[in-house]
Amino acid sequence: MLAVHQRMAELWTLRRARELTRAEQDELMLCMEANASYVWNRLKLENLSLCASLTSDHDWLHEICERIEKLEPKH
């Protein structure tokens, strides 16, 4: 889970209890934008990974897998 996902969940939970401040609303929108970007990038790489696998292009597959790993948070 990315830090942006945790913050988005916090803001969403606050929103259920009270109205968010303007700053919190702006932050929630930024979190949602970051989430959408992350998801689309991840899906694109997963589709490219499938293409590389289907064409048996192991070098390309390795490169894509490295790019996917870079998207994941470091623990």
pLDDT value for 1: 74
pLDDT value for 75: 65
pLDDT value for 73: 81
pTM of the model: 0.81
- Tell me the C-alpha to C-alpha distance, in Å, between residue 8 and each of 18, 25, 37: 15, 10, 14
Among candidates 56, 53, 33, which has minimal Cα distance to 45?
53
Taking the chain (75 residues) in runs of 10, the rounded mean pLDDT of each run is: 92 96 98 96 97 97 96 80
pLDDT value for 74: 78
**Could you tell me the two tokens for 14?**
């606050």
The residue range of the domain holding 17 is 3-71
Number of domains the chain contains: 1
- Tell me the C-alpha to C-alpha distance, in Å, between residue 11 and each of 2, 18, 35, 72: 15, 10, 14, 22
